[in-house]
A and B are shown apart, each in its own frame.
Chain A
Amino acid sequence: MAQFRVAAPRTLDEAFSLLPIQDRDVKLVAGGTDVLIHIRAGKSAPKRLVLLSKISELDDDIRVTDTGIRIGALARLSDVVRHPVVLARFTALAEAAAQIGSEQIRNRGTVCGNVANASPAGDTLPPLYVFDAVVNLIGPNGRRAVPIAAFVQAPGRTDLAAGELIESIVCPFPPDGAGSGYIKLARRAGIDISTVGAAAMVCDADTVRLALGAVGPTPIRPLAAEPLLGAGLRDDEAFDRGITAAAEATTPISDIRASRDYRLAMVQVMAREAIRLSQQRSTSKDRVQA
């Protein structure tokens, strides 16, 4: 009389055999902090859960490579928070992960789960957008790599094809001297879903990357505004125009957490703050007119 069956495959092949088609009746589980809550809340009612935790080919490593970092499918948010290289080179990601849920949630929840869940308010997404992360997928027909912005498609919808799963997420190192930061606005100081989130990366005196969370169906990387913002590092007026342009790229809604108007105003405040913070952290800031 179980609500759902659970399978704990030991290998990817075994897992693929359980995931014949992209099927609402089957759900993958990493930390379960989204899946199990959605089942509880009646938002989904899968017949079968497939656990990722026992699959031998998947790992929970955060590996530093020559070109960047690779975050394994099972890497926990709390490991990302504490990882020295993430802290130093991908500060915005560590900061975002640190602000997800509580210690208990971060100890179970994974970065890949946060991405696959594709919530507009998912906190690791804006930093991953800023770091041009690539999602490595694996399926019965092989592997493919998809840029994060193409992977996340709509609330709860991703580019995951039938039977595929995320094997890892890779972030190339940002340029030397780059600084980054994540700012989150929520209704209270402790454990809360973002009302607005902003991640930024700044390097040299003229490069800004920005991604905004909870102000559209997916995180928004206002590419058109970034050159203005870059120029704005030395020119307040350009900076203001850049911020306005960035806000114009968003399409926030009103919900019980906040109104659209508030989000529209806050996205500018958060973006400014995230960029300022990143700029302070960028070691090339001596070349910047603060």
Chain B
Amino acid sequence: MTADTFDITFTLNGLRKSIAVRTDAMLAEVLRENLGLLGTKVSCNEGECGACTVLIDGRTANSCIVLALEVDGCAVTTIEGVAVGGVLHPIQESFIEEGAVHCGYCTPGMILSTKALLDHNPDPTTGEVRKALEGNLCRCTGYNRILKAVSRAAEKLRPTPGAGE
């Protein structure tokens, strides 16, 4: 650790990571530049668009305005951690199936916001879905298909009655 760097240890997509980060580095920059995780997109760089959304301890955050050293000791999930073992997450499948992916630039952030929502609220109302995604801008799809994809994902993720018996 030098005056300009800081050693942090955190869980990244389930794996422990220790890394020295510049003290003024934002999480998005560290993910993209230092750790090579380019799935986290950066657009506005000012907290307005949600393209850079990641989960910190299960909650969404705009990684472009979170100091990397703030995630010391936290669990961070990026888009690279959503599909496990090469198998798409039901949210990812639903986005594809509903035509909710156009240019794809907003998609990683949208999927993480959806994940945080459904992890906490498996059966959201349309109003709750809209509210949960208000910080994720998409200029391509007009959102309609994204909202449908979230409903579809919620359905897929809900345990089917009787299953597991």
Contact = CB atoms under 8 A, between A and B. Distances in A.
CB atoms of A and B under 8 A apart anywhere in the complex? Answer: yes
Interface of A: 1-6, 8, 29, 32-33, 36-37, 40-41, 49, 51, 53, 78, 101-105, 107-108, 190-191
B6 A104 contact: no
Contacts of B46: 37, 40-41
B23 A2 contact: yes
A227 B131 CA distance: 37
B4 interface: yes
B22 interface: yes
Contact of A37 (B59, B61, B65, B117): B65
Interface in B1-31: 3-4, 6, 22-24, 26
B135 A33 contact: no
Interface of B: 3-4, 6, 22-24, 26, 45-48, 50, 53, 56, 59-62, 65-67, 69-70, 113, 116-117, 130-132, 134-136
A37 B67 CA distance: 12
B23 A29 contact: no
Contacts of B53: 104
A107 B61 contact: yes
Contacts of A32: 65-67, 70
Contacts of B22: 2
A78 B60 CA distance: 11
Contact of B47 (A8, A29, A101): A101
Contact of B70 (A51, A103, A190): A51
A82 B61 CA distance: 17
Per CB-CB distance, the 9 closest pairs between chain A and chain B, nearest first, are: A102-B135, A190-B134, A6-B23, A2-B24, A107-B59, A104-B62, A104-B60, A104-B135, A36-B65
10 contacts: A5-B3, A8-B69, A32-B66, A51-B70, A53-B70, A102-B135, A103-B117, A103-B131, A104-B135, A190-B134
Contact of B62 (A5, A53, A105): A105
B83 to A, nearest CB: 22
A3 B131 contact: no
Contacts of A53: 70
Given A2-B4, A32-B66, A105 B23 contact: no
B39 to A, nearest CB: 17
Contacts of A49: 24, 67
Contacts of B136: 102
A43 B135 CA distance: 23
Contacts of B132: 103
Nearest to A2: B24
Contacts of B135: 101-105, 190-191
A55 B69 CA distance: 14
A40 B45 contact: yes
A103 B45 contact: no
Name the residue in B47, B50, B56, B70 with the highest tally of chain A Cβ atoms < 10 Å from its Cβ. B47
A53 B22 CA distance: 18
A108 B66 contact: yes
Nearest to A1: B4
Nearest to A8: B69
Contacts of A102: 50, 134-136
A107 B22 CA distance: 24
Given A5-B23, A41-B46, A103 B113 contact: yes
Contacts of B23: 2, 4-6
Contact of A51 (B56, B61, B62, B67): B67
A6 B45 contact: no
Contacts of A104: 47, 50, 53, 60-62, 113, 135
B47 to A, nearest CB: 6
B114 to A, nearest CB: 11
Name the residue in A4, A104, A190, A191 with the highest tally of chain B Cβ atoms < 10 Å from its Cβ. A104
B3 to A, nearest CB: 7
B69 A6 contact: yes
A107 B135 CA distance: 12
Name the residue in A4, A32, A78 with the highest tally of chain B Cβ atoms < 10 Å from its Cβ. A32
